[in-house]
Structure 1
Amino acid sequence: MSVHVTPHLNFRGEAREALEFYRSVFGGELAVTTYGEMGSTDPAEAGLVVWGQVAAPNGFRVMAYDAPAARPWSRGEDPFFVSVRGTGAEELAGLWAGLAEGGTVVQPFGPSAWAAAYGMVRDRFGITWVLDVLG
């Protein structure tokens, strides 16, 4: 049996933009279903994402949705990190640079005491990403 963990990110009206951004960084296929497609009768929420996903051939996967107005939601401050681990420093450095566009560097990507390369960045949507090279 295999278990795979996929981060599910919650937004308020930014899910589609965030998913498109993550697709531009990691590649892969974007799938989006809106509240309207699921039968919502609220015109203000019809175009919002009820479920979305980016899945890339290299194994990257993230899901997201827009919390409806009736549900309390707050972006919060570092409620979680999304960890991306790989075996190639060059590939991860490129991903880190993409995520850093419009974001805030928490820890520059480079060698660390515990990994061949490590970096932390908060992207323009407030999501904190940790990237490191295995081994």
Structure 2
Amino acid sequence: MTGSTYLAPYVNWRGQAREAMEFYASVLGGTLEVMTFADMGGVAAGVAEHEVAWVMHSALTVSDSVLLMGSDHPAHVPGEPKKAQISLSGDDEATLRRWWDGFAARADVVQPLDQAPWGDWFGSLDDHYGVHWMFNISGPRAAVG
């Protein structure tokens, strides 16, 4: 019996995790689970009072192969929140185009979704939460030569 492995991007914000993850759920669908710093002890655990309602951990389960996680980066944790580039790829054109349309409605489109030289449809955008998304819809391979 073999096991399975999957990639689950994890994105950090400073006070925007709930809003961002709820937006992603509205576009991607799935089930969103959210745990706040208050759920984990809040101020007693070292989190500032104004940050206890922030997201300590969230997970958006879209399917068996699509999982997106995120959290807020409280002030007492050193460093800045880490952003991410996330790629959504596959041959389910209807789903990927629906997701593209949902994100593009509230984003800065960097590369419009269009046929790429390699034969797929590709586009990229920066959402209003600072995350860069890349979409690749598999298509017939472009003729070489």
| TM-score, scaled to structure 2 | 0.83
Cα RMSD after superposing both structures: 1.7
Residue type of the alignment partner of 1:36: A
Residue type of the alignment partner of 2:93: A
Instruction: Determine whether 1:60 maps to 2:60.
Output: no
Measure the CA separation in 1 of the matches of 2:94 and 2:36.
36
Measure the CA separation in 2 of the matches of 1:33 and 1:115.
42
Instruction: Determine whether 1:85 maps to 2:89.
Output: yes
Residue deviations 1:67-100 (CA, integer Å, cap 9, x gap): 011122156xxx6420101212232111111111
Match in the other structure for 1:30: 32
Structure 2 vs 1, CA of residues 74 and 50 (structure 1 numbering), >3 Å: closer, same or farther? closer
Secondary structure at the counterpart of residue 51 of structure 1? strand
Q: Equivalent of 1:124, from 102, 124, 128?
A: 128
Give 1:123 deviation, angstroms: 0.7
In the alignment, structure 1 segments of 5+ residues that lack a partner are: none
Q: Equivalent of 1:73, from 72, 80, 103?
A: 80
Give 1:59 deviation, angstroms: 3.0
Contact 2:36 2:55 in 1 (8 A): yes
Aligned length: 132
Runs of 4+ residues over 3 Å off in structure 1: none
In the alignment, structure 2 segments of 5+ residues that lack a partner are: 140-145
Structure whose alpha-carbon radius of gyration is higher: 2
Residue deviations 1:87-132 (CA, integer Å, cap 9, x gap): 1223211111111122100111121112421110111111010111
Secondary structure at the counterpart of residue 37 of structure 1? helix
Residue deviations 1:52-73 (CA, integer Å, cap 9, x gap): 0111136321100000111221
- Percentage of pairs with the same residue: 33
Measure the CA separation in 2 of the matches of 1:30 and 1:104.
25
| TM-score, scaled to structure 1 | 0.89
Match in the other structure for 1:107: 111
Contact 2:73 2:81 in 1 (8 A): no
Deviates more, 1:111-120 or 1:59-68: 111-120
